[in-house]
Amino acid sequence: MDKLRVSKSLILDWWKYKDGELCGELFNKRYIERAELEEITSDAMLAGQRFEYQTINSTLRGGVIPPIVTTSTGKPAAIQNIVDVQTDRFLKFMKENGIELVSSGVKLEVDMDKYILVGVVDGFLNIDGQLSILEMKFTSMLNPVGWGKDSPYAYFTDRLKDNRIHMLQPRLYVLICKTHPDYGQALPFYYYIASSKMMYSAECVEVPVQDSSIETLLTEIDEIVNDIEATVNLGLEFNALPEATRCSKCPAKAICNKKVDSVTIKRISHEN
């Protein structure tokens, strides 16, 4: 098989696959076959893309500008109003703190011999003369009293250091910059997190990344790559999880021969 292109998405999806939360056939189509998949979008995703464009001039593939989020009648949706307010707050934050946006949408690759590390950095900042990594988040999971508090996807400053999901991106992007010939050092990492529910709720967090956590990530990646390569080289299949609702929403449904559209029997095992 070709060298694996190890991204944040691949790692997250592998964890989900191993936890039984992601269909193995989708993982195979997306990362092994690298097939052309249907793009699944939502107003929340569109709003996030528009927010990144309005704040740091980040565009979609091919330089396409994300459109304003509208209702079925063509009028700006309520979430677009939140995007606009949060944009003004971000630009004010940058100006008040003397922070310069150096570049945005930077694609990085590092050949690690056995695999290739890949990532797209939302932006690089100049903060007091220090080049730094910026990741933008426009999310409903920024509300300490809201329903998202117990979700692993919820962003709270005091939980970041212990959050496997959110700490993956800082660790991975610091690792990529540290091993990339154009940077060659561990750069500071910042999340700018804006609420998509409460238009005046936002925060910027500097996330410390320890050398030991990068070493742990390298070990984790080696284990993932070894597991995937063993599965492929032995001719084994990734465990598919066909289920009508899941299959109907799957971006690989047009090219998948394991999809189902009828009710299936689930068998419960009482064995320990």
Condensed to tens digits (0 to 9), the pLDDT of residues 208-234 reads 999 999 999 999 999 999 999 999 999
pLDDT > 90? residue 6: yes
- The phi, psi pair for 115, rounded to 5°, reads -155, 175
Each domain of the chain, given as residue ranges in start order, spans 1-40+226-272, 41-209
The SS3 call for residue 21 is coil
pLDDT > 80? residue 126: yes
pLDDT of residue 143: 61
How far is the CA of 63 from the CAs of 106, 107, 108, 113, 254, in angstroms? 12, 13, 17, 31, 27
β-bridge pairing 115-127 and 130-139: antiparallel
pLDDT > 90? residue 58: yes
pLDDT > 70? residue 159: no
pLDDT of residue 152: 67
Q: 78-96 and 43-56 are packed helices; what angle lies between their axes, rounded to 10 degrees?
A: 30
Q: Following DSSP, what letter does each residue of 62-89 receive, concatenated? A: GGPPPPPPB-TTSSBPHHHHHHHHHHHH
pLDDT band at 2 (very low <50, low <70, confident <90, very high): confident
The answer to whether the CB of 47 falls within 8 A of the CB of 41 is no
pLDDT band at 147 (very low <50, low <70, confident <90, very high): very low
The answer to whether the CB of 110 falls within 8 A of the CB of 172 is no
pLDDT band at 89 (very low <50, low <70, confident <90, very high): very high
Mean residue pLDDT of the chain comes to: 91
Angle at 18 between CA 174 and CA 164, to 5 degrees: 35
pLDDT > 50? residue 249: yes
- Count CB atoms within 10 A of the CB of residue 234: 7
For domain 41-209, say whether CATH 3.90.320.10 is its number.
yes
* pTM for the whole structure: 0.89
Q: Give the integer Cα–Cα distance in Å for 179 and 109.
A: 10
pLDDT > 90? residue 142: no
Fill in the DSSP letter of residue 158: G
pLDDT > 80? residue 266: no
